[in-house]
Amino acid sequence: MIKVEKAHEPTVATEVAYLPAVAVFKKDYDDEVRVSVVRDDAMLFFRVSDHRDRDTHEFFLEFEGKRVGDLNQMLEQVMGHDRRHARFNLIEQITPGDAWTR
């Protein structure tokens, strides 16, 4: 019987920092993982969520000082083919609500 080995998927050592938190979220991902997965995992780690009270609270990822607009992109598309480490920031955007809507 011939043994077929699965090709190794390149991994990306990924970190996400969130300003109020002391700890940093760290996890290795395949480079073909969507950025939305990283965002969701980091939000779970930091125990935050998009929500609405009087204001609207939305979280997004920032990479190299720029907001990642398309969460369907894969890690490799955001950071480039040859990089094996990515550091993101999780940013909370608060949009003030109308004082009359409750």
Q: Is residue 49 part of a domain?
A: yes
Q: Is residue 29 part of a domain?
A: yes
0.85 cut: is pTM over it? no
Q: Count up the domains in the chain and report the number.
A: 1
Q: Is residue 67 part of a domain?
A: yes
Sequential pLDDT tens for the chain (102 residues): 666 555 556 788 999 999 989 999 999 999 899 999 999 999 999 999 999 999 999 999 999 999 999 999 999 999 887 778 899 999 999 999 876 555
Q: Residue 41: which H helix or E strand, with range?
A: helix 35-46
The b/e string for 28-54 (b: 16+ C-beta within 10 A; e otherwise) is ebebebbbebbbebbbebbebeeeeee
Residue 29 · residue 18 · CB < 8 Å: no
The CATH number assigned to the domain holding 35 equals 3.10.20
> What is the residue range of 52's domain?
20-95
Q: Is residue 1 part of a domain?
A: no
C-alpha–C-alpha distance, residues 5 and 28, integer Å? 21
Q: Is residue 5 part of a domain?
A: no
